[in-house]
Amino acid sequence: MYVTELRLDLVGRIKNARKTVEDSYCGCHTSVADYAQELTEDTGNIPSHLEMYIDYERMGRDLELGGDIFTIETGYQEVHIFWSH
């Protein structure tokens, strides 16, 4: 009986972990800066005369250092990004 309960608990935890990963996955990008640019452009309208002042590398670094995102680099220009919360 105990083994069956343990298995069911483990299956439930695995399903929960899989759902959490799927829900927080933001995709594969060439860099964190690339993701920051995509996120900014998808969520707002930036006037063309201000575009050159945006530093996407710093934005990406801040997202990562601030704990907003978690990254896994799997190859050259291949960064998988997940929301941390």
- pLDDT beyond 80 at 11: no
Quick one: average pLDDT of 20-49?
92
Residue 1, pLDDT score = 57
Strands (DSSP E) contained in 1-85 are: 25-29, 69-75, 78-83
**Which of 42, 83, 37 lies closest to 64, judged by CA?**
83
Residue predicted with more confidence, 13 or 69: 69
- pLDDT beyond 80 at 3: no
- Give the residue extent of every domain in the chain: 25-83
Domain 25-83 of CATH type 1.10.10: yes
Q: What's the pTM? A: 0.76
- pLDDT beyond 60 at 29: yes
- pLDDT beyond 90 at 13: no
**Which of 33, 27, 38 lies closest to 81, judged by CA?**
27
Residue with tokens 């710093």: 58
Residue 22, pLDDT score = 85
